[in-house]
């Protein structure tokens, strides 16, 4: 009996802890002014804050929402939806009619899942994003609006979706996908809420991706320098560019330095003097160049 009570208390404590760590998209009828204080809150999607991860842009913390299959949001109810944290504390609202509401803007994204339309909203002042899919709105219609901008630019996107699209397609529904925060606005929460092991994992993943981004930027500077040098000397061609980049990669060149720039100039000069640039296939160019370098090793070192 004691063990059963302890297990029950532990489960209750975990549930309460998870509640305080949750990010939800929920519906509050009339912005919470309905008289039924005991009425159940309609939660459409939720996730634990610590289950998020750094976005491809590592300045953002992205939380994938788990859909509540028993509560499906109608597009007509979108205006009553809110992003909440910690069990119900409001972060942002989709009600475009509220006075003194923080500014937020939306867009129909140039991506889709099947025939579903993806929509993104960005909320000020802390740059919080909400991404969701609209099901039941014909693809040809939302694609036309996305490509040609047929929507009234003076009308807020929420108003257009609720007052126009949902009226025309009353069975259209919304699937909430992600809530994203800027890291600077939630730095304290990241420090407090992530367990040590999880914190270590996400930081390692973030640092790895930052290193990869830096390495890619460094390499692209090398590519641009090689390309501009070839153009300046009247020898640019995709085959020539590819061949020189291969040689640099084999030489473990990763970023521009004065020494690397000199090496690039020597390689291009060697190609010119060997006549390698007179051929249009990379195999012949490479063979001609390597033969020249064997006879003139100072051009490589």
**3 state SS for 144-195:** HHHHHCCCCCCCCHHHHHHHHHHHHCCCCEEEEEEEEEEHHHCHHHHHHHCC
Is residue 89 predicted with pLDDT exceeding 60? Answer: yes
For the chain, percent of residues with pLDDT exceeding 70: 85
Tokens, residue 203:
């930081």
Query: What's the chain's average pLDDT?
Result: 83
The pLDDT-based confidence of 10 (bands split at 50, 70, 90) is very low
The pLDDT-based confidence of 12 (bands split at 50, 70, 90) is very low
d(CA 45, CA 175): 8
Is residue 251 predicted with pLDDT exceeding 60? Answer: yes
- The DSSP 8-state label assigned to residue 103 in this structure reads P
pLDDT at 49: 87
Packing angle of the helix pair 282-295, 258-274 (nearest 10 deg)? 100
| pLDDT tens digits along 157-201 | 999 999 999 999 999 999 999 999 988 888 777 777 777 888 888
pLDDT at 1: 56
pLDDT at 135: 95
The pLDDT-based confidence of 236 (bands split at 50, 70, 90) is confident
Beta bridge partners of 48: 22
The angle subtended at Cα 98 by Cα 96 and Cα 100, nearest 5°, is 115
pLDDT at 301: 63
Distances (CA, A) of 208 to 113, 204, 213, 221: 29, 6, 9, 20
Is residue 65 predicted with pLDDT exceeding 90? Answer: yes
Least confident stretch, 5-14, 17-26, 46-55, 285-294? 5-14
| Single pTM value for the model | 0.68
d(CA 224, CA 248): 13
Q: In Å, how far from its chain's centre is CA 76?
A: 28
The listed range with the strongest mean pLDDT (35-49, 138-152, 262-276) is 262-276
The pLDDT-based confidence of 219 (bands split at 50, 70, 90) is very high
């Amino acid at each position: 009996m004691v063990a059963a009570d302890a297990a029950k208390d532990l489960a209750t404590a975990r549930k309460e802890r998870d509640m305080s760590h949750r990010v939800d998209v929920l519906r509050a009828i009339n912005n919470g002014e309905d008289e039924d204080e005991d009425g159940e809150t309609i939660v459409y999607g939720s996730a634990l804050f610590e289950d998020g991860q750094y976005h491809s842009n590592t300045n953002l913390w992205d939380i994938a929402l788990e859909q509540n299959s028993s509560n499906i949001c109608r597009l007509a109810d979108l205006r009553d939806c809110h992003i909440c944290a910690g069990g119900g504390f409001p972060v942002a609202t989709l009600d475009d009619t509220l006075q003194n509401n923080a500014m937020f803007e939306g867009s129909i994204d140039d991506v889709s899942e099947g025939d579903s339309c993806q929509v993104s909203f960005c909320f000020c002042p802390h740059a919080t994003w909400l991404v969701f899919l609209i099901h039941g709105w014909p693809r040809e219609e939302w694609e036309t609006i996305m490509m040609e901008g047929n929507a009234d630019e003076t009308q807020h996107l929420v108003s257009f979706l609720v007052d126009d699209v949902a009226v025309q397609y009353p069975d259209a529904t919304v699937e909430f996908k992600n809530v994203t925060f800027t890291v600077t606005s939630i730095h304290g929460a990241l420090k407090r809420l992530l367990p040590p092991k999880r914190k270590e994992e996400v930081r390692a993943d973030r640092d790895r991706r930052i290193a990869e981004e830096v390495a890619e930027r460094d390499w692209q500077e090398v590519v641009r320098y090689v390309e501009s040098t070839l153009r300046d000397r009247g020898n640019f061609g995709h085959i020539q560019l590819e061949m020189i980049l291969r040689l640099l990669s084999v030489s473990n060149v990763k970023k521009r330095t004065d020494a690397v720039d000199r090496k690039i100039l020597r390689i291009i000069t060697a190609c010119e003097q060997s006549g390698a640039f007179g051929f249009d296939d990379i195999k012949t160019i490479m063979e001609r160049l390597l033969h020249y370098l064997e006879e003139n090793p100072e051009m490589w070192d």
